[in-house]
Structure 1
């Protein structure tokens, strides 16, 4: 686990007075403003976030220190990170995507399939991208396909669809 988690990204300027369009990666989009000061990935910039309104494709927001359209435009593509301690505690069967990245993935017989390289959410359910000796596998992040996640051991047991053919 890391001490910071990516909670959103700046999609660009919104308007001419320094407002930005935020893309929130939170389950409830508006929660992005409840985690305190957010930082850039490298930690060199810090922003207090004040949401202003829902906008097409995200949320309108004001970031501390951003006063002009040019400043807002310059931040396009910047990811926003929250301190891990500010995020809500999760239940037993819930995971932050960041906690899954890098975990070893093995099949039920113990054969290593690879490591989690990414977690995608395309709206119909999360997908694990696993890179290993056989190439890249995309595994649905469901209980049937991923029956065991052991964060302490750094291991996932996966039974990808079609693996028993």
Structure 2
């Protein structure tokens, strides 16, 4: 499995018991969706290695308490602490309406209700307090905050996001 075909699920935060159990921090708003996993990919030396889960349960709402097959001791668990976990993109729950995964809208056309086609979404910058659409129009890069009020519609069928940006925000880049 290649990392490009997967999404980051979380990290093994710490050992939980003397029998090799670990606590996994999940990078999600809905940890409950992942409590019945059969397996995950753990990044070990830049390779994704499948680990099979023999038992798991939610722990304090944001952690998953997991016992992996063949991880039976504290030492085995210790070796996994800090490792990142991935799942295939196909395992993502389908989102509908105006909810979307960042990777899903790359390549979509950004269309402003007032200005029409303002370019193609190249990436999402989520290293800022407010994630930004990075939109390319010719040689111009346009940054639009990902604010619910700006997103009118996610049109998956036509690979388009319809935006309603305040006057001046996009005009600034195109002027």
Question: Which TM-score band (shorter chain)?
Answer: 0.5 to 0.7
Gaps of 5+ in 1: none
Distance (Å, rounded) in 2 between the aligned partners of 1:131 and 1:11 = 35
* CA distance 1:7–1:136, shift in 2 (3 Å): farther
Residue 114 of structure 1 deviates from its aligned partner by 4.5
1:86-124 deviation per Cα after TM superposition (whole angstroms, max 9, x unaligned)? 554443443334423x2345351222274223558x8xx
- SS state at 1:115 partner: strand
Number of the residue aligned with 1:22: 24
The answer to which of 57-66 and 41-50 deviates more is 41-50
- SS state at 2:83 partner: coil
* CA distance 1:70–1:155, shift in 2 (3 Å): farther
Residue 21 of structure 1 deviates from its aligned partner by 1.6
Larger Rg: 2
CA contact (8 A) 2:24 2:64 kept: yes
Given the alignment of the two structures, is residue 80 of structure 1 paired with residue 80 of structure 2, yes or no?
A: no
TM-score by length of 2: 0.63
Aligned ranges for residues 37-56 of structure 1 at < 5 Å? 37-40=39-42, 42-48=47-53, 50-52=55-57, 54-55=59-60
Number of the residue aligned with 1:96: 101
Aligned length: 158
- Tell me which of 111, 114, 120 is aligned to 2:118: 111
CA contact (8 A) 2:21 2:67 kept: yes
- SS state at 2:131 partner: strand
CA contact (8 A) 1:52 1:62 kept: no
TM-score by length of 1: 0.65
Distance (Å, rounded) in 2 between the aligned partners of 1:30 and 1:157 = 31
1:129-165 deviation per Cα after TM superposition (whole angstroms, max 9, x unaligned)? 52656668362341x2122323344433334556178
* CA distance 1:69–1:156, shift in 2 (3 Å): farther
- SS state at 2:124 partner: strand
Distance (Å, rounded) in 1 between the aligned partners of 2:37 and 2:28 = 11
Gaps of 5+ in 2: none
1:65-84 deviation per Cα after TM superposition (whole angstroms, max 9, x unaligned)? 32233333333131231462
Distance (Å, rounded) in 2 between the aligned partners of 1:50 and 1:127 = 35
